[in-house]
Amino acid sequence: MQDIVKENLEIESRPGCIAAALYVLGNKWTALIVNELYDRPARFSALEHALVGISPRTLSQRLDELEEQKFITKKSFAEVPPRVEYTLTQKGRDLIPILKSMADWGDKHSK
């Protein structure tokens, strides 16, 4: 059993790091939202269109959570009709290498 603990410490610099990452990326939509915001800001309707199958309520909840956790910023424009754009913060951009690794793994192991 100690070998398993030792192995885990070689992956994590301290216990709980993987759990912290899963807290953010552990649901179906969060990684996909971050992926959509990777190279450009996006409006709610563009995200909703790109994320086939997500309900407006779920998208709104995930965006609120990501904003609260400082992974994205929400910018409102005083226009008619009102316009809101979502952009990754540096903290959000720090997730990109993780998503890239996930994509590489998926490409390697999916058929």
In the DSSP assignment, the letter for residue 27 is S
Retrieve residue 21's tokens.
């990452």
pLDDT in tens, 67-87: 999 999 999 999 888 899 999
What is the reported pLDDT for 12? 82
* Residue 105 clears pLDDT 60, i.e. is over it: yes
Domain 2-109 class? mainly alpha
76: closest CA among 66, 86, 91, 62? 86
* Residue 5 clears pLDDT 60, i.e. is over it: no
What Rg do the C-alpha atoms of the chain give, in angstroms?
A: 17
Measured distance CA(36)–CA(14) in Å, rounded: 30
pTM to 2 decimals?
0.84
pLDDT in tens, 10-39: 888 888 888 988 888 888 899 999 999 999
Retrieve residue 108's tokens.
């390697």
Measured distance CA(28)–CA(52) in Å, rounded: 12
Residues composing the chain? 111
pLDDT in tens, 32-62: 999 999 999 999 999 999 999 999 999 999 9
Ranges of each domain in the chain: 2-109
